[in-house]
Structure 1
Amino acid sequence: MYSNRDFNRWRRHPWHGLHARADDAAEDIVNVYIEMTPDDVVKYELDKASGFLMVDRPQRTTSSPPALYGFIPRTFCAEEVAKRCPDADEADGDPLDICVFSERHITRADIILKARVVGGIQMIDGGEADDKIVAVLEGDNIWGDVQDITDLPSIKAERLQHYFSTYKMIPGKEIDIKVDFVYGREEALKVIAAAEKDYWNHYGHLHEAAKQQ
């Protein structure tokens, strides 16, 4: 459990302390906290309690993410997200993942950027909904005008599907991961809205407590 003391750190918590989008931002422009870059073959992940980036595990294979990989602040995948994935038993209980394409090579993680949502991939990992939102860097010189995932070359989504279907593979062992369904901007925005609702249902009390201090 988080205490008020945990919530009010000097360093703003990337998950709880940032907003999903600026107050004046369009619906499809979101803030993204980046955990991994396309160069990473070590799985980095946010430590939920401290807000610092930690090493989760070294990847067993040579796979590296084909896009910047992180999450949207103040989102959580629980009951509402699971409702949008009929084949899943539940959601994975993490912030909503997002992959961001950029023409320029961004080489470091633990940064924040703005991205335009264009679609997503419905991933089911061991019976849990684990959606991957797909976006492009806002203002990108190549991808900045993309509005929907259908505007991207199809190989972009295919590479994401391949990465997420194989990045947990261990020789000789089967994995239960499905990444068959790719959806567009409209469904992606509905998934984000569901994840925002899940966040407030589970963690809204943190913000109410902070207001009272």
Structure 2
Amino acid sequence: FRFSSISRFVLEKFRRNMADERNGNGEQNHPAPKLNHRIISSMSRRSVAAHPWHDLEIGPDAPTVFNCVVEITKGSKVKYELDKKTGLIKVDRILYSSVVYPHNYGFIPRTLCEDGDPMDVLVLMQEPVIPGCFLRARAIGLMPMIDQGEKDDKIIAVCADDPEYRHYTDIKQLAPHR
């Protein structure tokens, strides 16, 4: 699918999410917590781990280039997912087949989809990276999907800092075997 032919609804929602993030107009049901309140409490002097979904900025260059958090490493048979309460990456299951994740897979922080999860992203890049790290990505396409009867589209992106992939702007530019 070409990025330019993505469902207008999904693309507009993605852009609206990022515009709301920049303007501080988060949805009423999911207000973005203030970063300093979650990261360090000056009153108690206790550190609190940053939550990758709520505390990580989407990035100053969004929607062109945006931050994303990797949950599943390229080549892995382990299905990890974000634990929404703690912000930690937990093991969901081990894939019982010869199938592996073809590229790094994760989510875009401070986004919310119809399924109640952050927006999913598959990031094409040369190397696997560890679960829980974040990187800068550029969307080049969309993979429409249905999961348990609900729409669960995946953004296809390239790592903005990978010299082999950063020049791609559309999924049609990729070689068929990628």
* Fold-level similarity (TM above 0.5): yes
Indicate if the aligned counterparts of 2:75 and 2:103 stay in contact, CA closer than 8 A.
no
Q: Which runs of 5+ in 2 are unaligned?
A: 1-28, 40-47
The residue that corresponds to 1:50 in the other structure is 86
Q: Write the distance in 1 (CA, Å) between the matches of 2:62 and 2:112.
A: 21
Alignment partner of 1:154: what SS? coil
Indicate if the aligned counterparts of 1:39 and 1:107 stay in contact, CA closer than 8 A.
no
Q: Write the distance in 2 (CA, Å) between the matches of 1:116 and 1:138.
A: 6
Alignment partner of 1:155: what SS? coil
- Aligned residues, how many? 137
Query: Which whole-Å deviations, capped at 9, do the CAs of 1:45-84 have from their partners, x for residues lacking one?
Result: 1100000111111112121111100000011112xxxxxx
Q: Which amino acid aligns with 2:149?
A: G
Q: Which amino acid aligns with 1:102?
A: M
Matched, 1:141 2:163: yes
Q: Which amino acid aligns with 1:142?
A: E
Q: Write the distance in 1 (CA, Å) between the matches of 2:161 and 2:38.
A: 33
Give the one of 90, 97, 104 matched to 2:120: 97
Runs of 4+ in structure 1 over 4 Å off = none
Q: Which amino acid aligns with 1:140?
A: D
Matched, 1:13 2:60: no
Alignment of 1:28-107 (within 5 A): 28-78=64-114, 92-103=115-126, 105-107=127-129
Greater helix fraction, Structure 1 or Structure 2 = 1
Q: Which amino acid aligns with 1:75?
A: T
Higher mean Cα deviation, 8-17 or 45-54? 8-17
Task: Please report the RMSD computed on the Cα atoms of aligned residues, expressed in angstroms.
Answer: 2.0
What's the % identity of the aligned pairs? 39
Q: Which runs of 5+ in 1 are unaligned?
A: 79-91, 157-213
Deviation at 1:99, TM superposition (A): 0.5
Alignment partner of 1:150: what SS? helix
Query: Which whole-Å deviations, capped at 9, do the CAs of 1:67-121 have from their partners, x for residues lacking one?
Result: 100000011112xxxxxxxxxxxxx221111011112x23422101001111110
Q: Give the TM-score normalised by the residue count of structure 1.
A: 0.60
Q: Which amino acid aligns with 2:144?
A: Q
Alignment of 1:111-126 (within 5 A): 111-126=133-148
Alignment partner of 1:93: what SS? coil
Q: Give the TM-score normalised by the residue count of structure 2.
A: 0.71
